[in-house]
Amino acid sequence: MSNPISHQNIGAARVTRVEEMAGPAFRLSTLFPDWDDALFEAHKDWLVPNYVNPEKMTALLAMHSWVVQLDGLNVLVDTCIGNDKDRMPMERWHHHQGPYLQRLEEAGFRPEDIDMVMCTHLHVDHVGWNTRLRDGRWVPTFPNAKYVFSRADYEHYKDRTGDMDAASFADSVLPIVEHGLAEMTDGEHLLADGLLLEPAPGHTPGHVTLKLESGSEAAIFTGDMLHHPLQVYRPEWNSRFCILPDEARVSRRRVLDYCADRGALLMPAHFGTPHCCHIDRAGEAFALRWHYG
């Protein structure tokens, strides 16, 4: 059982992980169209029990936000599922009631303390806490924050109808735009000194990453460019949710190259305990070293 709140320092920055939920998600052969049991066999010794349930061969995934504190700025990266939202057919997410905001507060952040919310992309599990239900309406959860996301994802999802992405756009993205709190980005965007947002298209057309560089240390928040740690060993494997397969492979490799060359920590949205890792080169692919903070 992982701790739902944890802290670490990266250069002058303090990074806090706040977990919303964790547990079994998809069967690995469903999540990865190229799935090969041999990869599980080769890495079984570390995959069980934190990353794979071997009886059902399901991926164990976490759902968390990262909060970056740097130079007096509090930046919340990705906002999970949220409470009270209509999310059928995902029963675990539908009208979810969890202590996310209490955990955030326990970690030292009231909603009004967040200066910036950054969504790596506009999928349902990355925008949920953008808003919360007040008197029957969806209102911004973080009233003092500027919400940053890519214009490309906004354009991609704005006319969608009839599915979960359309529902989450309507209740978790549109209210932010209507309240005048959205800042949509095109291309690279410097959020602050040492915090660079960069396009990493593929999983969604407008997926972005956030690089944190402070002194000699660095980290990169990668959203869903990798869903599961096994993709470090098979960087060509897309998840079934990657919309642009070729672009996703290029972006994933670019991020892993950056981590290996720069010694940067990889900070994804769904890896199990300890949730982030260093990347080493291993032939044509890569290997990971878990980082315990």
Q: What is the CA radius of gyration of the chain?
A: 18
| Of residues 168 and 185, the one with the C-beta less far from Zn ion | 168
Q: Least CB distance from residue 123 to Zn ion, whole Å? A: 5
Length of the chain in terms of residues written: 293
- Structure-token pair, residue 31: 């999540």
What is the token pair recorded at 118?
């950054």
Beta carbon nearer to Zn ion, 20 or 224: 224
Q: Are the CB atoms for 209 and 255 separated by under 8 Å?
A: yes
CA distances from 25 to 28, 29, 30, 174, 215 (A): 9, 12, 10, 28, 37
Q: Which of 20, 125 has the CB closer to Zn ion?
A: 125
Burial of 143 (0-12, 13-18, 19+ CB in 10 A): exposed
* Burial letters 27-36, b for 16+ CB under 10 A, else e: ebeebbeebe
CB of 121 to Zn ion, least distance (A): 8
* Residue number, 165 or 224, with CB nearest to Zn ion: 224
- Nearer of residues 13 and 124 to Zn ion, judged by Cβ: 124
How far apart are CB 160 and Zn ion at their closest, in Å? Answer: 17
Nearer residue to Zn ion within complex by CB, 65 or 185: 65
Question: Given the complex with Zn ion, which of 243 and 287 has the nearer CB atom?
Answer: 243
Question: What is the distance between the alpha carbons of residues 224 and 121, in angstroms, rounded to a whole number?
Answer: 8
Pseudo-torsion of CA 238, 281, 194, 144, nearest 10°? 30
**CA neighbor of 169 nearest in space, from 118, 122, 120, 116:** 122
Our CB check for Zn ion shows the closer of 79 and 214 to be 79
Query: What's the min distance (Å) between Cβ of 241 and Zn ion?
Result: 8
Q: How far is the CB of 229 from Zn ion (least distance, A)?
A: 14
Least distance between Zn ion and beta carbon 100 (Å):
15
By CB under 5 A, name the binding residues for Zn ion.
Answer: 125, 224
Minimum CB separation of residue 112 from Zn ion in Å reads: 26
CA distance 98 to 107: 16
Query: Is the preceding peptide bond at 54 cis, omega within 30 degrees of 0?
Result: no
Give the integer Cα–Cα distance in Å for 280 and 275: 17
Dihedral sign (CA 213, 219, 221, 226): positive
Q: Give the nearest distance from C-beta 130 to Zn ion in angstroms.
A: 14
